Amino acid sequence: MRISIIIPAHNEASYLSDCLDSFVAQTQTPDEVIVVDDNSSDDTFKIASGYSKKFDWIKVFKRKSIDEHIPGKKVVDTFNFGLQHVSNFNLIGKFDADIILPPNYFEVILNHFQSNWKLGMCSGLLYIKKDDDWVYETIAKKNHIRGPIKLYHKSCFIKIEGLRPGVGWDTVDVLLAKYHDFETLTDSSLHVKHLRPTGHGYSSKNYKTKGEALYKMRYGIVLTKVAALKMAWHSKSLKLYIQIILGYLKALIYQVPRFVSKDEGAFIRKYRWKGILQKM
């Protein structure tokens, strides 16, 4: 199985060397790693270029874009830019530039894909540094494949029609994989160090896009309220709940284009309600 990895990178000079060192140290290196410098103003391109000169399987491209941080959309647009430059692949990965992989990461995940023909997506788990320890980043359950370390089988990637450009892209892809009867797997033995915790620099506007994402996934207002309460409870912020609902209602009023079809939306709602009812 040929493995192609795309790393969207915007001003990642502080983390990129550690990230790429962990790729170089793999017991099973990818067939290609494509770093896309997305309009960086630091040494991101210089650092990536240094690695590309040493390792012919690491390639670097520059993408011109706006400076404004657009959660979800900007990173997916940069990934899609890199996708135009990939060689033939069996497994395609979207990885962040602020992670450090354990040395057996791709060897273990490759074994999972080779042993299960229904496996559509696979990853390890993300850990963040707290005091002197690395602890699980509790932003998501351990069975959820996180955005910074996504690896897809080509057949699944094609079926879900790639990544959706916006907040929620790393949730809707999992749901669509299940809709198309693919399995997803997280390997709890693979601890990936996440050097910059998720949500760093988020603003009120960014949080409202979470409500818009739920609208795009056709959650419906009741399920959206349940999801918003859960996120607000986790963040201990009533304001977050209000922002999510406002984001949903704004998308509803302006009839923002959806991420999924009506049939896919019906499946997503049924799947989510089933998960909620099982916990009661």
CB atoms within 10 A of CB 35: 30
Q: Please name the residue that has the structure tokens 């499946």.
A: 267
Per-residue pLDDT of the chain (280 residues; tens, 9 = 90+): 999 999 999 999 999 999 999 999 999 999 999 999 999 999 999 999 999 999 999 999 999 887 666 778 999 999 999 999 999 999 999 999 999 999 999 999 999 999 999 999 999 999 999 999 999 998 888 999 999 999 999 999 999 999 999 999 999 999 999 999 999 999 999 999 999 987 644 444 566 889 999 999 999 999 999 999 988 888 788 899 999 999 999 999 999 999 999 999 999 999 999 988 887 7
- Looking at the domain covering 3-194, what would its CATH class be? alpha beta
Give the whole-angstrom CA distance, residue 1 versus residue 110: 8
Give the whole-angstrom CA distance, residue 155 versus residue 249: 35
Give the whole-angstrom CA distance, residue 239 versus residue 263: 32
pTM above 0.85, yes or no: yes
Q: What angle do CA 213, 229, 77 make, to 5 degrees?
A: 20
